Chain A
Amino acid sequence: ETGVTQTPRHLVMGMTNKKSLKCEQHLGHNAMYWYKQSAKKPLELMFVYNFKEQTENNSVPSRFSPECPNSSHLFLHLHTLQPEDSALYLCASSPSLAGARDEQFFGPGTRLTVL
């Protein structure tokens, strides 16, 4: 595998379910990000991790719980979601937070539908 991978690619869940999204980067990067992409809205940054430490929580509801066990893996644990949480969830990575000129590398996303 190369680049940034995300699993699953599609997920349908009920409001009472608990599920997790997984992201893995094979680029040797130290910073990882979760974004939410909803229809007709700009990308929303949710969380930022740098060297496994969370550096940004952009006022995300507690029903979204991130986990970063190491610099290569990032999880987003989901529980008691609402239908308005249905969106494409994108993971990204970059060499570090200090490199403002560095691009972020994105995974293909997980299309989440909450029923």
Chain B
Amino acid sequence: AQSVTQLGSHVSVSEGALVLLRCNYSSSVPPYLFWYVQYPNQGLQLLLKYTTGATLVKGINGFEAEFKKSETSFHLTKPSAHMSDAAEYFCAVSARSSNTGKLIFGQGTTLQVKP
């Protein structure tokens, strides 16, 4: 069965510092990979996704993520944190063969950005 692990339920960085949010998946076949962001009192919004092709994926708001098959990872990064990046971030996977619409979510990482 597929699973997603996000290391660190809470990450704190200073404004302007590098943001690194970790995501590892467990799957016999590399799945499709997604990062979502949830701002306070809002639903989830897609930041980026990896389906095929180039393993470095660029998303909205300056975020990017790299799919590393050998490490079963899909870590999210941003070179310079902004106060507006404070939110909860979710990694999710979908099996390539799936026809159920199921997304498996990690437990989420809360990003705090300090001035």
Give the interface of A toward B (CB within 8 A): 4, 6, 31, 33, 40-43, 45, 48, 50, 55-56, 90, 92, 94, 96-98, 100-101, 103-109, 111
Contact = CB atoms under 8 A, between A and B. Distances in A.
B49 A103 contact: yes
A94 B32 contact: no
B43 A90 contact: yes
Contacts of B61: none
Interface in B79-115: 90, 94-103, 105-108
Given A90-B43, A109-B42, A101 B51 contact: yes
B101 A106 contact: no
A94 B101 contact: yes
B34 interface: yes
A56 B32 contact: no
25 contacts: A4-B43, A6-B43, A40-B107, A42-B106, A42-B107, A43-B90, A45-B102, A45-B103, A48-B100, A56-B100, A56-B102, A90-B44, A92-B43, A94-B101, A97-B99, A100-B96, A103-B34, A106-B43, A106-B45, A107-B43, A108-B41, A108-B43, A109-B42, A109-B43, A111-B41
B42 A108 contact: yes
Nearest to A93: B101
Nearest to B97: A100
B46 interface: yes
Given A42-B105, A43-B90, A108-B43, 11 more contacts: A4-B43, A42-B108, A45-B103, A100-B32, A100-B95, A101-B94, A103-B46, A104-B44, A104-B101, A104-B103, A107-B43
B101 A50 contact: yes
Contacts of A42: 105-108
Nearest to B9: A40
Contacts of A41: 107
User: What 3 pairs between A and B have smallest CB-CB spacing?
Assistant: A106-B43, A97-B101, A100-B98
Contacts of A50: 101
Nearest to B88: A37
